[in-house]
Amino acid sequence: MKVLIVEDEPEMLEVIAQALEQEDLLVEKATDYFSALHKIVSYEYDCIILDISLPGGSGLALLKELKNMQKTEGVLIVSAKDSVDDKVIGLQAGADDYLSKPFHQAELIARTKAILRRKNSFSLTLLNVSDLSVDTESRQVQANGSELQLNRKEYEILLYLCVNSGRLVSRTALAEKVWGDNVDIADNFDFIYSQIKNLRKKLKESGSTVKIEAVYGIGYKLTANEAT
């Protein structure tokens, strides 16, 4: 799952980023209004952690833009403004939660995870596609009754394909979801292909009816054939 942190204080930014990365979340950062707006327009996130006071503009204005674009990212406002009025304004603007600075890392993590559970389709405890089962709590994957041993990237790819089962997922969308917007510097998508190749091999060895189909030049689709 991917989280965007919008925070202009370098030390606070690193504290939040490290806390979330320790929870195996993919973290991206923005330090001002315009860089945050570019990321929000260009990419999709599962949760945005948003400061109100930013160089170049207000976090509340970013929140308004997010809602105008009809995007569904969960939003946690993290702000030094801790009056009741400030909290009410933030929540009425569309934020899912409001956390005042200073805060404990444990509370930040708990509130972020609560938003992810409420907002993200990945929050389903158990995903099933034919004989394939993905437990998002334990991160265990079973295919045809056998547990698949997957590395982190293989798991994230398979989870994203399961959520979009039967739908074509572009290589770009898959790369951004699993690797983040740093994928822009990549010359090609060979790094995705190698992970897909490994997933196909493991699914085949398990005897699963689930297959990862490639649509040349576009992306991948998870399908299931009836066992013969």
b/e per residue 186-206 (b: at least 16 CB within 10 A)? eeeeeebeebbeebbebbeeb
Residue-wise pLDDT for 37-78, tens only, equals 999 988 888 899 999 889 999 999 998 888 888 787 889 999
Contact between 198 and 146 under an 8 Å Cβ cutoff? The reply is no
Domains and CATH numbers, the chain: 2-122 (3.40.50.2300), 124-224 (1.10.10.10)
Residue-wise pLDDT for 88-125, tens only, equals 888 888 888 888 888 888 999 999 988 887 765 544 57
User: For residue 156, what are its two tokens?
Assistant: 């994230």
Query: What does the pLDDT read at residue 185?
Result: 46
Distance CA 197, CA 199 (A): 5
Query: What does the pLDDT read at residue 182?
Result: 55
Q: How confident is the model at residue 210 (pLDDT cuts 50, 70, 90)?
A: very high
Query: What does the pLDDT read at residue 147?
Result: 94
Of residues 157 and 190, which shows the higher confidence score?
A: 157
In what helix (H) or strand (E) does residue 227 lie, and over which residues does it extend? none
For the CA atoms of the chain, what is the radius of gyration?
Answer: 19
CA dihedral 56, 40, 30, 110 (to 10 degrees): 120
